[in-house]
Amino acid sequence: MSSTRPFILDPLFRPVTALPGVGPRNGKLLEKLTGGPKILDLLWHRPSDIVDRRFAPKIADAPAGRIATLSVTVMKHFPNQRRNQPYRVWCTDDTGGINLVFFHAHKDYIEKQLPEGAKVIVSGTVEKFNDKVQMVHPDSIGAESDFESIAAVEPVYPLTAGLTNKAVRKAIAGALESVPALAEWLDPALKAREHWPDWKDALLTLHNPPGDNGLDPLHPARARLAYDELLANQLALSMVRHHQKRRAGRVFRTGGALREKLLSALPFALTGAQRRSLEEIDSDMQAPARMLRLLQGDVGSGKTVVAALALLNAIENGAQGALMAPTEILARQHAESLKPWLEACGVSFVVLTGRDKGKAREALLQQIASGAAQIVIGTHALFQEGVEFADLGLAVIDEQHRFGVHQRLMLTAKGKGTDVLVMTATPIPRTLTMTAYGDMDVSRLDEKPPGRKPVDTRLIPADKAEEMMQGIARQVAAGTRVYWVCPLVEESEMMDLAAAEERFDILQARFGGKVGLVHGRLKPQEKDDVMRKFSAGEISILVATTVIEVGVNVPEATIMVIEHAERFGLAQIHQLRGRVGRGGEKSYCFLLYSTPLSDTAKERLSIMRETENGFVIAEKDLELRGAGDILGTKQSGLPAFRLADLAAHAGLLAIARDDARLLIEKDPELKSERGQALRPLLYLFERDQAIQFLRSG
């Protein structure tokens, strides 16, 4: 898309090495630091701290321990006699004297910086030593004319090995020089109300933070930039949404004879939340616009039956339905759950997975193409390969958090106005839902089916693990099944695996053949095999890395052990815990942690003891850890923000959403003056994939 990028942005998309004084070496380091090679990446790199050098007293008034900027005259140098002695430079003003102290000094450098007789500006921490005033290694030294720039508030940036704060500041100062003035894209009323500066001024302030509240996320400059980022995010989602909705949907009649059949075949009544969600789905399916709905519900909240009832709507109208799962195991489990229900209604279905090859596959494809198969259950991958349907009316996508908006688009692009229902088992806070699924309408299953027993959750310090093991051994002897999840090692699947294998060996030594191991590197077939054995009770303990399938259902499993629970996000623990407590037996979740544990970490884990409501847990996790850490983000499919901090800017997000939706309703092609001004914004925050929707059908 870069060909359509407005020329005015070009300077921001040049590599940092185009900046004066940034060579290939620092260029590499800056790229590592900011996550990108462009000048723009550097501009988004925010200071994490500030040093206030505005205090500029006379020497006699400079208190020890405080950072001060002093205007002094260099009187005399006292070079060190021996290597381990300091080099001293005696300076004075009209109130007194101060020693500037240097260890391992380069004589030439000091003489050049501080020639005797010169008036200089030095800034650093003032100390008292043997009743004398001194400053060890001043942070800044300059000529008198540098006073303004030294006696200022200095931003301190997150760094990487090999880069100094000074080098980063210098590069950023250069980058700021190349920032173009852009036409304002904000709504003038909002900008005035919030007292926000222009974009360019905001950027300058971000890197020259005022002393008092310069790092406050709600400072007008930072808030403006955060809003810009959220607006870009919401605008892109609104464009996707508009594009999807514009394709004519279909009008379905809902709630006919098939629904009646299924409802009377179910051994339970729908919960209030299920009924509400179904009503929302019904009204979408009746409407001529396409349905784009997210069904968000905790593990065990009963999404499957809602999906089944929605699929029957399509069948009832002579169309087909599809249910796509992220993995083969899950596809098969969905098929298992749906089978009795679909049979009760006399609806035909096929299961299509990667295992179906050759003639068998051909036959299945034929049934799908002819419409003989009314419902197709399979993996996402298969649908991406382009299965031909006679008439696909509704696609249900069981997403489980592995998909971003673009993949979602790919999956649904083929259908002719096909309604889309995405199911996700991970409760995420409302604010995050908006950033990731802002293109969709949301239904929440926030109420569990009746009769579920709470899971007894306990925090176990690692040194009490042996006692826990003895308890587990007794339970296993009595036939219990146990999930054992191994530590999450940051960023490394290999290390996850090593930890899991080690645990597997230890448990196998104790429990013999009753232990199995699943991890991400097994072939699907091997994984299925272990899962099947666990499900059938041939093995009692399943050691797993976090790849453990979130939708897997083994009601006989009643113990969940999570090692190094402190390393997991609460939402992840919650998901894992949802694997147990599915049968009639009392269930346990043991959260093993290594000591010492910080107070916050303890507080976090304690929340798991207090509630099983996934939405509450997710909100708390956001509050305590921030959006970046939630769900172990990488695979979560949630967008990452550079300037917006969702814990602090949630209010802005809601405004951005409304702003974007209204805007796209009124000006879907971004042709108005404001619309034109907004185009660069999409590029600035790399949401420009959405631009394609301005032109294509």
What residues line the site for Mg ion (CB under 5 A)?
A: 304
DSSP-derived pairing of the beta strands 119-129 and 392-398: unpaired
DSSP code for 373: -
Q: How far is the CB of 268 from ligand ADP (least distance, A)?
A: 3
Per CB under 6 A, the list member of 238, 271, 435, 457 interacting with ligand ADP is 271
**Count of residues in contact with ligand ADP, rule CB under 6 A:** 14
The listed partner (ligand ADP, Mg ion, none) that binds 124, CB under 5 to 8 Å by sort, is: none
Residue 92 β-bridge partners: 73, 97
Exposed, middle or buried by CB within 10 Å (0-12, 13-18, 19+), for 622?
Answer: buried
The listed partner (ligand ADP, Mg ion, none) that binds 270, CB under 5 to 8 Å by sort, is: ligand ADP
The listed partner (Mg ion, ligand ADP, none) that binds 59, CB under 5 to 8 Å by sort, is: none
Q: How far is the CB of 550 from ligand ADP (least distance, A)?
A: 9
Q: How far is the CB of 267 from ligand ADP (least distance, A)?
A: 8
Q: How far is the CB of 333 from Mg ion (least distance, A)?
A: 7
Residue 312 or 489 with smaller CB distance to ligand ADP? 312
Q: How many residues does the chain have?
A: 697
- Cα 248 versus chain centre, distance: 33
Per CB under 6 A, the list member of 174, 217, 256, 449 interacting with ligand ADP is 449
The listed partner (ligand ADP, Mg ion, none) that binds 33, CB under 5 to 8 Å by sort, is: none
Q: How far is the CB of 618 from ligand ADP (least distance, A)?
A: 15
What six digits make up the tokens of 108?
């030439």
Alpha helix stretches (DSSP H) within 54-134 = 107-113
**Amino acid letter for position 422:** V
Query: Could you give the CA distance from residue 470 to residue 348 in angstroms, rounded to a whole number?
Result: 49
Pick the piece of the chain touching ligand ADP (CB under 6 A) from 62-70, 90-98, 266-274, 354-362: 266-274
270 touches ligand ADP by CB under 6 A: yes
DSSP symbols for 612-640:
--HHHHHHHHHHHH-GGGGGGGGGG-PPP
DSSP-derived pairing of the beta strands 49-52 and 541-544: unpaired
305 touches ligand ADP by CB under 6 A: yes
300 touches ligand ADP by CB under 6 A: yes
The listed partner (Mg ion, ligand ADP, none) that binds 675, CB under 5 to 8 Å by sort, is: none
Q: How far is the CB of 282 from ligand ADP (least distance, A)?
A: 17
Residue number of the CB closest to ligand ADP reads 302
The listed partner (ligand ADP, Mg ion, none) that binds 449, CB under 5 to 8 Å by sort, is: ligand ADP
Q: How far is the CB of 298 from Mg ion (least distance, A)?
A: 11
What six digits make up the tokens of 274?
């299920």
Exposed, middle or buried by CB within 10 Å (0-12, 13-18, 19+), for 121?
Answer: buried
Query: Could you give the CA distance from residue 661 to residue 658 in angstroms, rounded to a whole number?
Result: 5
Residue 682 sits at φ, ψ, to 5 deg, of: -60, -35
Pick the piece of the chain touching ligand ADP (CB under 6 A) from 104-112, 162-170, 302-310, 479-487: 302-310
The listed partner (ligand ADP, Mg ion, none) that binds 305, CB under 5 to 8 Å by sort, is: ligand ADP
Query: Could you give the CA distance from residue 321 to residue 312 in angstroms, rounded to a whole number?
Result: 8
- Tell me which residue of 301, 294, 304 sits closest to 271, measured CA to CA: 301
- Cα 528 versus chain centre, distance: 29
Alpha helix stretches (DSSP H) within 371-428 = 380-384, 405-413
274 touches ligand ADP by CB under 6 A: yes
The listed partner (Mg ion, ligand ADP, none) that binds 274, CB under 5 to 8 Å by sort, is: ligand ADP
DSSP code for 15: B
Pick the piece of the chain touching ligand ADP (CB under 6 A) from 65-73, 170-178, 299-307, 611-619: 299-307
DSSP code for 403: -
Per CB under 6 A, the list member of 244, 254, 296, 301 interacting with ligand ADP is 301
Binding interface with ligand ADP (CB under 6 A): 268, 270-271, 274, 297, 299-305, 425, 449
